[in-house]
Each structure stands twice: as C-alpha cells, then as structure tokens.
A and B are shown apart, each in its own frame.
Chain A
C-alpha cells in the first residue's frame, strides 16, 4: 500500500488533460507508440472531437522512481463538464491526489476553479502544473502567480510542462510519488469498495470500476451493493491496464474492476459501495447520491414509423449511460416519442448527437425544460417535467423552479456584458473576486431554466469566447412562472408549449408566433397563430390562405410526369407534422429551438 498512488488529472476544457495522460502512459511504458492513438483515455469519437472526456476510466501504470522504488500509479480519469460534477466528485473520492492542469496562456478558468474546489472537498493533495509553457502566447510567470495565489502554495511547487513536446512529464511522475500520500485503509476491516464508474460489456454485463478502501475484494466471493438488494458473485476481478487484467483479488488501497453477471448498468451506480454479503461492512462509504436528471426534452422520430428504432437506440444507449432516463410520451403534434431526462445541457446535446450519428436516426427534439414543482391550492405538490403537465393557472398556488450557483471567469473588460446578460437571464448577482487585476471571477445565482436556453452562446459572444462558465445546483425557489401555449387555428401545438417567467412570456409568445408565420407554408386555409397564457391570448398573427396551387397544363396526355411530381411532393409531406388541419414543417420545430430568448 505504501507504494500505491491514486490520482486524477483535473483541468478546464482544452488545457491539456488528455495529452498529459498520454505522456504519462508513454513514459511509464504502459503503452507503445503503436498503441498510442492520440488521447487514449477518450475512446469515443465524439469525445475526441469535442476534446472532452465523457465517461471516466482508470488505468494503472508502473513507475520506477528516482528513489529506486517501483510504484503503482492509478490514474483515474474524470469527466470534464459540470453536468457530470457528481461523477467527477466520485472519481476524485477514489484518489489521494490530483494534478491540476492550467493552460499557461489561458490562465485560470471556471472549470479550473470548480474542479479544484471538488478536489479540495475530497481532501486531495494538489499538484499544480502549468501546461503549454512553450506556446507563443504563454505567460507562465503571470499564470504561475495566479495559481500560487489561488491554491496558497509557493510558486516553486508549481510544475512547468508542455505535454505536447514532452517537457516536464518526468517531474510530474516524481511529484506524484513524493507528494501524493499513499492510500490509507484497513486490510482487516470488512470490505468497502467505492464504485466510481461502470461500463457495459456486451458479453459480460456491467463492469464496475472500484477503489477498495477497506478489506480486500476477492474473486468468487458473494457481494452486494448498498444502493439496492440484488446479490451477486464476484465472478471476475482484476486490474485496469489498457485492457482488463484478471487477478485473484483487489487489495486495500487499489483500483480495479469487478464483473458479476450484472445485467444492467443501473445496478452499478456511481458512488455506491460494494461489500461482502457475509461479514460485510455495516455502512457504505459516504457521498453516494442518486443521480437525478435536471434537463428534460422530448425526442421524437421525424418519421413516426421509426418509433421502435428510436426506442431500441435509447435502450442501447442507456446500456452505457445510466444517467439518461426516458419514458414514452405522446404528442398530438409529433406523434409517439420519448420524454428524456438529462444531467444537463451538454449531456442532452451529446445524447441527441449520438442518436443521430451512431444510430442514424432522424429526430426532432422539443424545447428543453427543467423540472418544476407546482404547488396547487389544494396543497398538492406536482412534479412537472413537461409543460403539458402544468396544472391550470387557476389551480396553482405557486410554482418553484431549480436554481443554480454560477461561476463565470472572464477578462475584466467583459464584466459589463456579463452583468447585462445576467440581468436578462434573471440572474442574482452575488459577488466578484479578482484572480488578478485582469481576470474576474463572478458569482451569480440563476434559475436553471434560463441557462438551458441560449445562455452559453450569449456568454461566448458577449465575451469573444473568453469567458468560462460552471455551475452547481442549489435548490428550488418560487417564481412567477406561466405556461405559454402556441395555438394554430385554436388547436394547441403541445410540442411548442413552454414554461417561462411572466415578464418574458409576451416577448417569447411574439417571437414564436412571428417565427411560425415565417415558416408555415401557406395552406388551403388561413392559419391563425396565437400565443396564449391559459385562455388569455398574448400574441396573434395570421398566415394568409394559399390562393393558387394548380399546375396549368397536363402535357399532351403525359400523365406520368404529373404523377411523379405529385409523388415527390407527397414524399416531402411525409415529414410534415399535423395539428388540426394545419401542416407544420420540421423546420418550424427546429427554428423554435433557435429562437433567442
């Protein structure tokens, strides 16, 4: 145990976490050049493309240090986005130390801070590293001072590196050995192994990645999880190198995997604790939380005939990502689809993109919304994750919405823009801390519902892309919220309903109805487009009736030509959705998603 080091690498997006991981693997001989596909830890295409790690994995290295001893280093990778902050916290809980990577040109960003706070919460030894020091724009001195100030360490403790050019990697390994404490734990105590991640293996079922805190996890023993009552046998345990390496046991302080014919990844929940069925621990390791989706949206197949394909795709998807929840729902406008719950915005985007990319599905998504708590006058509390479920205005006593605490790091010249954006988004200003005279760290509280729209894009455009943003949930608060319905010839288009603050409802209603007026093709009848709160119409526009749609000629008995034309039009129409007698093109639903708040 004295020669085990468990650590993570934490960083803001693009500061070089994955490249550093690659170099550590190379230098310790854990991977050959040939095996080295750039950024090994990010195995999904999408992750590589976005430069973020979505699912955490772990890998074991062996390192012979300058003191002549050989150490086992377990690198536990963490997801890099706030949507996954709980998962990050569980990965960090499996470690004793963390390498905090800061881009020497970019300096401290919002996720640098949020990840650092998570690491400090987990009592980790922090090894600060400035990466990309040889980039033309690098300002190592300035950023070093920022980081020293932030952590409260000496500037000499901060390592300088350029992972791309293999500078400073060995020093990092030495620092891990010297500064990160070895794991503590009682080999004779009852087994407590923390599940920090899991994946689904088509042949073996769920594979849980664990860190053993107390006792030893032995192959063949009867095990149980604290989060549910299912019992399993630890059929196979082992270490995590680039591949899984079977062993007979995972000793105290070590990291490894366990396979136990677990059919569903939902039974290997991140943060759960494994113990033995006989003579097991009497309580789990602290920190477990049931993950709850925070953002919801309907996902519908463009073609109703693809409903079963969509279900299959969602089921396959959740084999590996138990945090996505979905259940069938029906929309009068869109037909049969699913209401899906996501951890956050990024998670939603990833799911949507992977559904279309990996499963080749053509889907329509509805406006995202958060989960509201509607309190009725009769004293009931109703959970509303779809605007349709909102009780009528007359029955409502109050509605509560989730709030977040947001941290925005920005060059100081953009503070004004951010203040304005925050005001537009119903933000409550808390305070500003200056990282140095040119960089501000602003704190706000926002309704989450405001953030899931175009907040991120607006933040980027208002700060020329320099601001970074991170948030955490803080709870529910009452707000003056209303449901806005969009009606076409008096028929509500359920998929376009939305819950918004009363002050913004009129503006929203007007924008949606004018967008629809633009996109609805003229049809045989006049289309009245209305936005309404309850029975009160707040906006009204009209799409005039189509006046002429007939081909003048039917060419000298050439009926085929006209029939083909008609068939082509029919094919195009198949993609239209219908509410009452009004046909709505796909673009209308997509365009509403693009409307700026």
Chain B
C-alpha cells in the first residue's frame, strides 16, 4: 500500500506580530526569496514519495506569499509526492489587503480551503489582540473568498479577552456564522509566557478572564454552535459532520505528516522532528546541504501510549480495540479502570467502540488525560 501523508508548510512571515502569538514568524520579508528556495530544497531532499491526502500552509501569514509562490511550492510537493485527487489544501490567511482576484489566484494555484484569522468582530477586542484588520475587513475577506470560489472556509475566533462578556462572545460567533463558513476554530486566549501579552500578565498589566468565566465562554461556544449544526469534534474545532479539517484530524489520529519550513513539525515512522526554528538558521542549514532538522525524537512505546490518549481524547476518542492491539489488553483494562470514576460521573462515555469525552467533560480534557495516565499506586 502506498503510504499517505499530510504535508504542513510553515510560512514564517507576518506583517506585524500579535501580542498573544508565540508561533515563529518574522515581520521582515527580505528573507522570503531565500526562504522559498530553501523550502523547495527541503522538500526535494526529504520527500520519500507516497501520496498526500492534505496540505496545510500555516504561519505566520501564508497569504503574504503570492499565489505564484504558493503555486511553486505546491508544484514541488506534486513533483515529489502524488497529491490525491480530492486532497484538502488549506491556507491560512489574515483579513485585509486580499482582493477577490488574488484569492481567485490562490484558488487557481490549487488551494481549496481557506482558514481566515478573524479572531473577533469587536474593535476593542481586535485592538487588545493587536490585530491589524477591522471587523469589516474580516467580513469582506470571507465574502470575497466565497466569491472567488472557496467552498471551504474556516474562521478563527478567540475568546477570553479581558472584560469580554458571554454575550459579546456569542455575538462574535453569530457574526461568523452569518458568513459563508463551514468550519470554526474557537480558541480560549492563552497567555504564553514568551509573548508581549504573557509578559504583561506577569507584570500585572492585564487581568485575564476568571476560570469560571473562561468555562462559561467555552460552554456558550459549544451550545451556540451546536444549535447551528456545528459539532465540537475537537477541543477547539467545530464543523458540521463531513466538514472537519482533514489535515488536523491527521494530528489527532497520529497519522504521518511531513512538516517543511522553519519550526515545522513532522511525524514519520514513530519519530517526531522539529525543524530549526529560526528562519536564518534554517536557510543556512539547507544551503549547507542539510535538511533543516532541529530536534528529533524517536518515540518509545510509553510515549506513543501517552500521545494516543492525549490526542484521541481531545478529538474523537480512544478506539479501544486499536488501543488494545497496540498496547496490550492489560493496558486497555488498566486505562478503563483508572478512568472508571470519570465514566461513572459522565465525563467520559463509551460509544461506537470508543472511549470519548462526553459533553460534561469537554472542558476538562487535560484533567481527564492526566487521570488516564496516572501510574501511581493507590
């Protein structure tokens, strides 16, 4: 059987860095040509053949690359792998400065799914998040994308900005649903330590939403979206059945994927690899004949078990038969016995051969995962 992969391509450029973001990116585009050369070289050096089910341009702001540049990268992927007929090819885009024509060109280059980083439709929240676009621009971009032929559009929203009410957040959700979107990614604002926002929090300059409010916002998200047929299929991902992001599903299902570009992550042959994080270093390494590899870790059986539990419970649940096959019946029984209280309490449910988080446990996935992985003698 031909091996199937996902392909992630990291575009490390942004017009401006948002205060909450700790993804790797730079605000100068001087390196873009050298980066592109390095990226295609990395693809050349690492690609092993096989077929590609999904491609995802993430960033950064991939829409800073021109449709031609995106096309060039896709051509190289197509040259080294076989891209499946109905492959899902996503590109992240930020609102503003994206004309219908340019969007149509991306579509023509092969991109068939667009993920738009809207975050909010409230001017104050956008300011707090240091987004450079307005709510109107966000709407316009989504509409333009639809007109340009994108049938699959996802919108990112964020909740939990200081003083945001549940009502205000519901307003954001409804505003997004009023647009032609088939998928929403809704994140709780996370204060990452190595970001301007994280530092502001440490200084005491911002007051984060309370845990209770954060929980209320999340519950409101689940309820409001469920009413419109958007099912929570992963902690932060919502879509009608069939419209899930197939690329991200590969992550939760521990399917193999290549990650190309600086700071991209790959998962191949039970090995996790992170590419060099800094664009300059990445380019130099490729020029010196390398593949841009940073840290590589071959997973142990224990690591694999941990990942399986951690990733499955975020999404569609643990396939118990497959789990037993991979890790043994004893482990399977132990897992179920460790989680018996959570099952009894209705935080977890067993259905369709899976052990999955129930509605009551959606917000507690990490706590449940921890419980599932306890090795302590009681």
Contact = CB atoms under 8 A, between A and B. Distances in A.
Given A559-B267, A566-B369, A548 B303 contact: no
Given A560-B274, A573-B370, A578-B376, A550 B235 contact: yes
Interface string B343-376: 0010100000000000001111111111101111
B230 interface: no
Interface in B234-249: 235-236
Contact of B190 (A551, A560, A569): A551
Interface string A540-560: 000000111111111111111
Contact of B306 (A523, A524, A525, A563): A563
Contacts of B364: 524, 546-550
B370 A569 contact: yes
A186 B296 CA distance: 85
A413 interface: no
Interface in A49-81: none
Interface in A566-597: 566-567, 569-570, 573-574, 576, 578, 581
Given A524-B367, A581-B341, A556 B265 contact: yes
B347 A524 contact: yes
A352 interface: no
B82 to A, nearest CB: 21
A524 B366 CA distance: 10
Interface stretch (B129-137, B140-148, B207-215, B327-335): B207-215
Interface stretch (B104-112, B279-287, B307-315): B307-315
A574 to B, nearest CB: 6
A385 to B, nearest CB: 26
Nearest to B215: A547
B265 A557 contact: yes
Nearest to A335: B377
Contacts of A524: 342, 345, 347, 361, 364, 367-368, 371
Given A552-B190, A566-B370, A559 B363 contact: no
Contacts of A522: 211
A553 B187 contact: yes
Contacts of B311: 554, 559
Given A554-B251, A573-B374, A574-B376, A560 B369 contact: no
A570 B297 contact: no
A292 interface: no
B370 A550 contact: no
B264 interface: yes
B8 interface: yes
Contact of A552 (B212, B235, B259, B361): B235
A549 B8 contact: no
Contact of B303 (A549, A552, A563, A570): A563
Contacts of B341: 581
A559 B307 contact: yes
A231 interface: no
Nearest to B376: A574
B252 to A, nearest CB: 8
Nearest to A575: B376
Contacts of B378: 578
Contacts of A560: 265, 272, 274, 295, 297
Contacts of A261: none
Contacts of B188: 548, 552
B23 interface: yes
Contacts of A546: 211, 364, 367
Given A524-B347, A553-B190, A563-B310, A570 B10 contact: no
A552 B307 contact: no
A304 interface: yes
A522 B295 CA distance: 36
A126 B215 CA distance: 76
B292 interface: no
B58 interface: yes
A587 B23 CA distance: 36
Interface in B125-180: none
B257 interface: yes
A124 to B, nearest CB: 56
A549 B306 CA distance: 18
A184 interface: no
A204 interface: no
A563 B369 CA distance: 11
A562 interface: yes
Interface range, A side: 20 to 34
A548 B363 contact: yes
A570 to B, nearest CB: 6
B121 interface: no
B218 interface: yes
Nearest to A557: B265
Contact of A548 (B189, B214, B265): B214
A211 B352 CA distance: 84
A550 B259 contact: no
Nearest to B212: A547
B262 to A, nearest CB: 12
Interface in B209-227: 211-212, 214-215, 218
A562 B314 CA distance: 12
B305 to A, nearest CB: 11
Interface string A383-399: 00000000000000000
A557 B10 CA distance: 11
B211 A557 contact: no
Contacts of B58: 556
A571 to B, nearest CB: 11
Interface string B290-305: 0000010100000100
A581 B367 CA distance: 13
A525 B361 CA distance: 11
B236 A552 contact: yes
A563 B214 CA distance: 23
A563 B10 CA distance: 21
Given A553-B187, A556-B10, A560-B274, A547 B363 contact: yes
Contacts of A548: 188, 211, 214-215, 218, 363-364
A560 B341 CA distance: 28
Contact of B236 (A523, A553, A556): A553
Nearest to B310: A566
A206 B351 CA distance: 68
A554 B265 contact: no
A335 B377 CA distance: 9
Nearest to B250: A557
A570 B364 CA distance: 16
Interface in B1-30: 8, 10, 23
Given A548-B215, A549-B367, A556 B347 contact: no
A423 B335 CA distance: 55
Contacts of A547: 211-212, 214-215, 363-364
A562 B371 CA distance: 16
A570 B373 contact: yes
B182 to A, nearest CB: 21
Kindly name the residue among A335, A559, A566 whose own CB sees the greatest number of chain B CB atoms within 10 A. A559
Contacts of A552: 187-190, 235-236
6 contacts: A554-B314, A557-B257, A560-B265, A570-B373, A570-B375, A573-B370
Given A547-B363, A554-B311, A557-B8, 4 more contacts: A524-B367, A556-B23, A557-B257, A563-B303
Interface of B: 8, 10, 23, 58, 187-190, 211-212, 214-215, 218, 235-236, 251, 257, 259, 264-267, 272, 274, 295, 297, 303, 306-307, 310-311, 314, 341-342, 345, 347, 361-371, 373-378
Q: Would you list the 8 A-B pairs with minimal beta carbon distance, nearest first?
A: A547-B215, A548-B215, A548-B363, A552-B187, A549-B367, A550-B365, A552-B188, A557-B265
